Amino acid sequence: MTKSRQPNGASSIYLGKDGRWHGRVTVGTKDDGTPDRRHIGRKTRAEVTKAVRELERQRDAGSVRKAGQTWTVTTWLTHWVENIAALHVSENTIDGYRVAVYHHLIPGVGAHRLAKLEPEHLERFYKKMQDNGSSAGTAHQAHRTVRTALNEAVRRRHITINPATIAKAPRLEEEEVEPYSVEEVQRILLEAERHRNTARWVIALALGLRQGEALGLQWTDVDWEAGVIRVSRGRLRPRYKHGCGDRCGRKPGYCPQKINTRRETKETKSRAGKRPIGVPEELMKLLRRHKEEQDRERRLARDLWVEKGYVFTSPTGEPLNPNTDHHKWKDLLKAAGIREGRLHDARHTAGTVLLILGVPDVVVDAIMGWEPGKSARMRRRYQHLTSRVLQDTADRIGSLLWGSADTVNGGLSQGS
């Protein structure tokens, strides 16, 4: 073997006993403090010299992959979601990450070595997801998740390039806002009067609160004198564990002795989300009646009542489960004979009415809780309306200006 002695830390090139040329390049330090010295083997001296110089260039640019564990996509995503992301993001965000990681990404691309994952692997995976029935939105969520996870891998030098930033993301059609018409709102509110927590649905349609914001409201958030509701927190979806020692044979959420492992609410995610909202007097009256009805339920429940101060509760005082609330909305629409729609469509309806009535943009942003950087885009989406909604609004404005007193006092104002 021909090998020249080099100073400590310097690269070396030598001919080995195997007849091949070898190079050694120090690129940094390992976790235990010893030099991280990489080996390169080539057939000729010229080839190994070129490879050594390239590795030195990468070292000097800080783009050499870190020594240590050889990650697969599965091991990295699992480590990232449980040991990195889970410590720094909200409960709802980590839920979304876990669904993308465990239900889509790991089964789809998890067998690849992390350093060998290519943009084309991801693009084929996104297409396969949609071919198998996943929506474009679900595929896009998987893309955002893997992009975030691999950005962290780049920062930690486990890989040098994030293939997800190169891969073409699934095409995501912006959902069309389809607000309810004035007539549909009236029918929903009329049906809501026959159900518990009537004010829950009036708040959704009149003020546009998100589901979590409405279910997180507490009586201390209601300023009766000023006629204002202050939004400051959101209801979280419960997460359960077995209280039976996993003996019931059911999923944790169906365990007879289930234990909720998650806090009930969290602070709103942005400064714009924490906001006061002026409440029409009709809705304030409805909230007063709702409070009286809740006081009656408290007396009937006696020792079963759990006092937590929420505006909308179960018959025993517990905060409403978002999943239960979602199904109640579906039942309400069906009972009212209204077309199928998402609970979020109630928020769309409120935002649409504000914009059509010419409420200043800054006021609309404050009421809806839109962040400054997103508000213009959100307003553009809400202004894409059907002719029926535009005509309904024109009729209401006409009634306001030229109609009778009965007409003016009727319709949407009765419920909002």
Contact assessment for residue 159 and residue 115, using Cβ atoms and an 8 Å cutoff: yes
- For the chain, give the mean pLDDT: 84
User: What's the Rg (C-alpha) of the chain?
Assistant: 30
**Domain end marker among 131, 165, 199:** 165
To the query of whether residue 210 is one of the catalytic residues in this protein, the response is: yes
To the query of whether residue 241 is one of the catalytic residues in this protein, the response is: yes
Q: Are residues 218 and 280 in the same domain?
A: yes
Residue 218 and residue 222: Cα distance in Å, rounded? 7
Q: Are residues 54 and 14 in the same domain?
A: yes
Contact assessment for residue 114 and residue 158, using Cβ atoms and an 8 Å cutoff: yes
Tokens standing for 373? 């950087």
To the query of whether residue 305 is one of the catalytic residues in this protein, the response is: no
Residue 384 domain-assigned (yes or no): yes
**Domain end marker among 165, 199, 223:** 165
More confident residue, 416 or 273: 273
Task: Considering the candidates 241, 263, 339, 374, report the single residue annotated as catalytic.
Answer: 241
Burial 102-117 (b: 16+ CB within 10 A, else e): eebbbebbbebebeeb
- Identify the DSSP state of 284: H
Q: Are residues 220 and 341 in the same domain?
A: yes
Residue 343 and residue 323: Cα distance in Å, rounded? 11
Query: What's the CATH number where 188 sits?
Result: 1.10.443.10
Residue 342 and residue 302: Cα distance in Å, rounded? 36
- Measured in whole angstroms, the distance separating CA 238 from the mean position of its chain's CA atoms is 15
Task: Considering the candidates 42, 230, 344, 379, report the single residue annotated as catalytic.
Answer: 344
Q: Which domain holds residue 127?
A: 73-165
The pairing of strands 228-231 and 275-278 is: antiparallel
Distances (CA, A) of 225 to 22, 285, 292: 82, 12, 17
The pLDDT score that the predictor gives to residue 352 is 75
Q: Are residues 9 and 57 in the same domain?
A: yes
Q: Are residues 160 and 31 in the same domain?
A: no
Tokens standing for 323? 């999943």
The pLDDT score that the predictor gives to residue 371 is 74
Q: Are residues 279 and 381 in the same domain?
A: yes
Q: Are residues 390 and 335 in the same domain?
A: yes
Length of the chain: 416
* Number of domains forming the structure of the chain: 3
Residue 345 domain-assigned (yes or no): yes
pLDDT at 405 over 60: no
Residue 152 domain-assigned (yes or no): yes
Read off the pLDDT of each residue in 288-317 and give the average, rounded to a whole number: 95
Task: Considering the candidates 235, 258, 347, 348, report the single residue annotated as catalytic.
Answer: 347
Residue 243 and residue 254: Cα distance in Å, rounded? 11
Q: Are residues 227 and 160 in the same domain?
A: no
Contact assessment for residue 269 and residue 93, using Cβ atoms and an 8 Å cutoff: no
To the query of whether residue 347 is one of the catalytic residues in this protein, the response is: yes
Residue 83 and residue 153: Cα distance in Å, rounded? 13
The pLDDT score that the predictor gives to residue 68 is 60
Residue 253 domain-assigned (yes or no): no
Task: Considering the candidates 104, 112, 140, 210, report the single residue annotated as catalytic.
Answer: 210
pLDDT at 83 over 50: yes
Q: Are residues 201 and 310 in the same domain?
A: yes
To the query of whether residue 382 is one of the catalytic residues in this protein, the response is: yes
Contact assessment for residue 11 and residue 54, using Cβ atoms and an 8 Å cutoff: no
Highest mean pLDDT of the ranges 64-78, 155-169, 237-251, 350-364: 155-169
pLDDT digits (tens, 9 = 90+) for 22-64: 999 888 777 677 888 888 899 999 999 999 998 888 888 777 7
Terminal Cα-to-Cα distance of the chain (whole angstroms): 89
Query: What's the CATH number where 91 sits?
Result: 1.10.150.130
Residue 244 domain-assigned (yes or no): no
pLDDT digits (tens, 9 = 90+) for 362-397: 777 777 787 766 667 666 666 555 445 556 656 665
